[in-house]
Structure 1
Amino acid sequence: ASTWPKGAKVALNFVINYEEGGERCILHGDDASESLLSDIPGAQPLEGERNLNMESLYDYGARSGFWRLHRIFTKRKAPVTVFAVGMALERNPAVCHALKEQHDWEVASHGYRWLDYHSVDEETEREHIQRTIQIHERVFDKRPVGLYQGKPSSNTRRLVVEEKGFKYDSDSYADDLPYWNMEFEAPHLVIPYTLTENDMRFTTPNGYANGEDFARDLKETLRFLVDEGRAGHCKMMSVGLHCRLARPGRAAAVAEFLDFARSYGRDVWICTREQIADHWTENHYPKGAGNPMTTEPGVPVPDLDVKRAGVDDGTEEGPNE
């Protein structure tokens, strides 16, 4: 059965997506303006033109929203994973400095650009992955160990595995627990993300209307998962946040939920995705695959009892238990 440290029932991970500065814009050499994930209803890309309203909304994330979220989590000494776009880091040294100061935060790769890699050729995507690693090494003195491309191509996971330095990727929404992808020579850890417990739903039809909606959904989700954990089925929960959407009423919901989560004490482990990866690798590495720290590259993994095609959660339960 899956378990978490110190008997916790739920592993709770907050993700701050730092994308501002890596979005589409003709000033960045793109052929159109950004159109996604903003407070402009039904926004469409402007071909060959700037969208000044869209640019100012993204500026809000860098100028105000990031710092509001930063204050919420640092005040409460809560760990966070940041999905950081490489170009966005290059364009905001102040944010980089703030991230480097938070030693209990994790900065994961969110690609070099905040764009759809489905239409990007393999060599360009590989180069973007490497470039983002180099940015992290230059800015933070260490490489990222997790990657969430967000809008991945069919090549993304293979490129991540071939790079050999990532502990996990999060380009999946397939489970309430981490699981092992078995398509490659060695098991590769996938830590699923979420599009439901995510403030992006403030920008979607039938999404959140206000902060109360957001807080209520997060509380109901955590309450149910804790009950499942107490019944013997531990789970993880991700909460997705975006700096440009961190307006005061919405951010208040984040603070309220974080305090609510803390009220569960040891039943809720608030952690980074890297901590989840380390725990899962140490405790739920697939049987028969050897020690992940000593398995030599290029050595095929023995045949395993895989519960789903290409997938193994590493536990003795079913994939969703």
Structure 2
Amino acid sequence: MDDLYKWPEGKRCAVMLSVLYDDGLDAMAKAPDLAYRSKSRSVWEYGSQRGLERLLSTIEEYKVPSTWFVPGMVLSTQQSLIKEIAQANTEVAARGVNFENYFDLSLAEQISKLKQTQEIFEDTLDTQLKGFRLPSGLWPYGFDHTLTEFGFSWTSSLNGDDCPYTHLSGLVQIPVHIELEDRPYFQFNFTPAFPTGHSRIAGYEAVLDNWKREFDAYRQYGLCFVLQLRPEITGTAGRIFLVREMLSYMSQFDDVWFATGSDIASWHQQNNGVAAQDHPINVFEQYLSEGKDV
């Protein structure tokens, strides 16, 4: 195992169970009129009224920690639910205020939004935020410095690796990958662009098989497996079994470290340095600093 990433003693890989609770803000950011379309909006209402409790209770049943990413606006409108989440074996991390696209904001606007985010969380949960997930859009140049200046120690937003790495600013990045996210498999689309006649959602057993195969590979190579779930999608009565099956499957291995984002980031900071100069994130930063187009 000498060639593997170093996890806590006796652990071969890490699992970060993450939940993205946007309560429809992600959809309304692209289609503002959704707020007035009761039929479509009811998908996210179901997530808050039924899916969230089902997902949370399932995670609690398996006694594994989880990290919930929540926009500030959802924290304001769903205070009782978020407080219930925070009282469980969970960590609540930030996801902006109103699902804004930070790439389209000026530095001053970014700072204003981050300040507002911190204030909402501190007022509601009386906690100092450590983690941040980019709501939408591209990663702004120098955004890692902006986050660290506001006290964030880690983020889980980019895709450029299979294990945590550290930006030059000191911000820890816990990479995510779309194949470990529920929405690409199950997002119901009333007007699929292509191909004509293609199934609108993936078969449940096929998704479970995909996730298990990915986990097996992550464990074999000693990586960081980040599963991304949503109450309105995998919190349904039919799909919650996917979560149960995955938790049951992963829990059978005693060399798997289930941890929150902050736990993983803290471990990484104490046991690993800044990403090497030839790491993709530093190559990209150098590319941008030279004024080249991307």
TM over 0.5: yes
Aligned mates of 1:48, 1:13 — CA distance in 2: 31
- In the TM superposition, what are the counterparts of 1:1-321 in structure 2 within 5 Å? 2-20=5-23, 22-23=25-26, 33=28, 35=30, 45=31, 50-102=36-88, 104-153=89-138, 154=140, 156-163=143-150, 165-182=151-168, 186-201=169-184, 202-203=186-187, 209-228=202-221, 234-245=222-233, 246-265=235-254, 267-286=255-274, 306-308=277-279, 310-311=281-282
Inter-CA distance 172–207: structure 2 relative to 1 (3 Å threshold) = farther
Letter in 2 for 1:244: E
Letter in 2 for 1:203: Q
- Native 8 Å contact 1:111 1:128 kept in 2: yes
Inter-CA distance 123–83: structure 2 relative to 1 (3 Å threshold) = same
Letter in 1 for 2:99: W
Inter-CA distance 208–55: structure 2 relative to 1 (3 Å threshold) = closer
Question: TM-score with structure 2 length normalisation?
Answer: 0.82
Aligned mates of 1:55, 1:48 — CA distance in 2: 6
Deviations 1:79-127 (A, max 9, x none): 000011110011012212212212x311111111124333334333322
Q: Which consecutive residues of structure 1, in runs of 5 or more, have no partner in the other structure?
A: 25-32, 36-44, 229-233, 287-303, 313-321
Deviations 1:16-45 (A, max 9, x none): 111116456xxxxxxxx555xxxxxxxxx3
Question: Which residue pairs with 2:292 in the alignment?
Answer: none
Aligned mates of 2:34, 2:247 — CA distance in 1: 42
Return the offset for 1:241.
Answer: 0.5
**Equivalent residues, number:** 267
Return the offset for 1:187.
Answer: 2.8
Return the offset for 1:310.
Answer: 5.0
Aligned mates of 1:46, 1:101 — CA distance in 2: 32
Aligned mates of 1:73, 1:240 — CA distance in 2: 13
Aligned mates of 1:173, 1:48 — CA distance in 2: 29
Letter in 1 for 2:113: H
Question: TM-score with structure 1 length normalisation?
Answer: 0.76
Aligned mates of 1:128, 1:68 — CA distance in 2: 31
Letter in 2 for 1:179: Y
CA RMSD of aligned residues (A): 2.4
Deviations 1:210-251 (A, max 9, x none): 3222221111111122222xxxxx211100001111212221
Q: Which consecutive residues of structure 2, in runs of 5 or more, have no partner in the other structure?
A: 193-198, 284-294
Aligned mates of 1:215, 1:133 — CA distance in 2: 36
Letter in 2 for 1:263: Q
Structure number having the greater helix percentage: 2
Bigger mean CA deviation after superposition, 10-19 or 121-130: 121-130
Inter-CA distance 309–70: structure 2 relative to 1 (3 Å threshold) = closer
Question: Which residue pairs with 1:301 in the alignment?
Answer: none
- Native 8 Å contact 2:11 2:257 kept in 1: yes
